[in-house]
Amino acid sequence: MHDRWLSSHWLRTAALAAGLCLPLLAAAFAIAGPLGLAAAAALAAGCALTIFLFSERTVLTALRARAVGEVERPDLYGMVRELSTSARLPVPRVYISPARQPNVLAVGRSCRRVSLCCTEGLLRSLTTAELRAVLAHELAHVSRREIVVSSWAAGFAAVLSLARLRPLAALALRVTAPTSREYGADASGALMTGDPMALASALRKIDVCAASLPLPPSGSLAASGHLMIAHPFPDDGYGRLFLTHPPTRERVRRLEALAGYPR
């Protein structure tokens, strides 16, 4: 089931990229023939590669994140290492953002090159079990091989947002980051820790705090929201335009069902 979903995810992204490139390629062919077409194709491929290479840095810069090591945060680093080992993943680099809103994301060019970023608000708001649960959720995105497409989409949407094409950036994220991916990461992360209710509790806390401490949906930050565990922007205006997460209530309901919680 997941392999079919992953194939669909890649196909949707490829279709979006092709749809946006076709007008450029057609115009180049009409103006300069095969030579113009080749030049335009090379330009498009170069832009796609540049976006891919710099997407991780773009996201971390938007969050003003800084790298932390094991000496500075042994508790956090130890938890990330233990979960990564359990999931048979390389240990990601750990970053902390000064944002007061509790949130967390994973971004990277491959499963072997991942950065895990927690906000200060997250580290202050959650219990140890809840923090472990949300870290497992993010590592589940990595183990499910969703990280490459999601990270490229962040870089691509950042370019569109900076060009003041926010509706097009939002459309790109809705195509490349369907809400169903969060349900899958919730379930996989909960199975990784064996504690679905800890993730459910964390999602409730994050949802309430994110509503009272929303992040501004502007520039590169607007393009990073789909990578976070919960919608970080206001629920109106441009914030709603970048909504890529399913309702928290439904996510909690599914986690309760996974835990066998009585209804």
* Dist CA 125 CA 210 (whole Å): 11
pLDDT of res. 29: 60
Q: Find out whether 118 and 96 touch, Cβ atoms under 8 Å.
A: yes
Q: What is the DSSP letter of 200?
A: H
Point out the least confidently predicted range of 2-11, 21-30, 88-97. 2-11
- Give domain limits for the chain: 2-258
Mean pLDDT of the chain: 85
Report the distance separating Cα 180 and Cα 245, nearest Å: 8
As a whole number of angstroms, the distance between CA 177 and CA 183 comes to 12
> What one-character DSSP code corresponds to residue 87?
T
Question: Which range among 9-13, 137-141, 147-151, 178-182 shows the weakest confidence by mean pLDDT?
Answer: 9-13
Q: Read off the pLDDT band of 158 (50, 70, 90).
A: confident
Q: What is the pLDDT of residue 238?
A: 73
**pLDDT for 1 beyond 90:** no
Per-residue model confidence (pLDDT) at position 34: 74
Looking at per-residue confidence, does 97 or 220 come out higher?
Answer: 97
Q: How many CA atoms lie within 13 A of 252 on its CB side?
A: 14
Q: Quick check: 116 and 171 in contact, CB under 8 A?
A: no
- Produce one character per residue of 7-31: b if its CB has 16 or more CB atoms within 10 Å, e if not: eebeebbeebbeeebeeebeebbee
7 band by pLDDT with thresholds 50, 70 and 90:
very low
Residue 262 pLDDT > 90: no
pLDDT of amino acid 28:
63
Kindly state the tokens that stand for 126.
């959650």
* Mean pLDDT, range 236-259, rounded to an integer: 89
Q: What percent of the chain has pLDDT over 70?
A: 81
Q: What confidence tens digit (pLDDT) does each residue in 180-229 have? A: 889 999 999 999 999 999 999 999 999 999 989 999 988 789 889 999 99
Give 93 or 162, the one with higher predicted confidence: 93
Residue 1 in tokens? 């089931």
Q: Which range is least confidently modeled, 53-57, 129-133, 190-194?
A: 53-57
Q: What residue type is assigned to position 90 of the chain?
A: P
pTM of the model: 0.85
Residues with catalytic annotation?
Answer: 138
Residue 106 phi, psi (nearest 5)? -125, 140
